[in-house]
Amino acid sequence: MMAEEQKVLTVNIVTPDGVVYDHHASMLVVPAMAGQLGIMANHEPIITPLEIGEIRVKRTDNPGHEDAIAITGGFMEVSHNIASIVADGAERARDINLSRAQRAKQRAEDAIKTASEKHDSDELRRAQIALQRAMNRIDVKNHLQ
C-alpha cells in the first residue's frame, strides 16, 4: 500500500546566526548554480549549491502571497518533504533596511574603483562580491514592494 502523497513542503533557512525562516510551502524557488530551481512537495531527494540571489516561497497558509528571502550563497538539501537551506547569510525582504543596503552598494562601488586603480585583484573580487550581495538585497526588497 502506497503512502498518501503530501502536498506540503517544509522550508527551513539557517545561517551561522540561527534560523531565519521556517514555514510550510506549496512551492519553493531557489537560485541554484545551474539556474532557478523550483521545488514542490514529494520532490526527489537533492543536494545543490546555491548562489547569491532570491529565494521565493509560496506559503500554504497564504497562497496569494510569496515570501522573498535574500541569500548570500550556501546549499540546499531536499528530502522527505523538507527543504533545508544552509546559507552564509539570509535576510527576509521585510527585514531588509533599504538605505543600509544602498550605502553598502556605494561602499562596494567605491572599493571596486580603488581596487581597480591599485590593480589589487583579491580586493577587487571581494568588492565585486560585496556589490553583488548589496544589489541582491536591494532587488529582493524592491520585489516586495
Question: Does any domain span residue 3?
Answer: no
96-121 exposure pattern, b = at least 16 Cβ within 10 A, e = fewer:
beeeebeebbeebeebbeebeeeeee
Give the model's confidence band at 64: pLDDT under 50 very low, under 70 low, under 90 confident, else very high: confident
If asked whether residues 38 and 72 sit together in one domain, one would say yes
pLDDT (0 to 100) of residue 62 = 85
Q: Tell me, what's the pLDDT at 65? A: 85
**Helix, strand, or coil here: 103?**
helix
In 3-state terms the chain splits into helix, strand, coil percentages (rounded to 5) of 35, 45, 20
**Residue span of the structural domain in which 136 resides:** 97-144
Residues 82 and 17 in one domain: yes
Provide mean pLDDT across the span 93-97.
Answer: 94
- 103 and 50 in a common domain: no
Do 96 and 141 form a contact (C-beta atoms < 8 A)?
yes
Q: Does the residue 4 lie in any domain?
A: no
Q: Has residue 22 been placed in a domain?
A: yes
Question: In this model, does residue 120 exceed pLDDT 80?
Answer: yes
Residue 7 has pLDDT above 90, yes or no: no
Do residues 19 and 79 both lie within one domain?
yes
> Do 13 and 76 share a domain, yes or no?
yes
Is residue 25 in some structural domain? yes
State the average pLDDT over residues 80-93.
96
- Evaluate if residue 5 carries a pLDDT over 90: no
Judge whether 82 lies within some domain. Answer: yes
Q: Cα 82 from chain centroid? A: 16
Residues 76 and 109 in one domain: no
Under the banding of pLDDT at 50, 70 and 90, the label for residue 143 is confident
- Identify whether residues 63 and 88 lie together within a single domain: yes
User: Residue 145: its pLDDT value, please?
Assistant: 55
Domain end among 93, 110, 125: 93
1 inside domain = no
**Which residue is associated with the grid cell 545551474?**
34
User: Do the domain assignments include residue 83?
Assistant: yes
Task: Return the H-helix or E-strand segment holding 140.
Answer: helix 121-144
**49 belongs to a structural domain:** yes
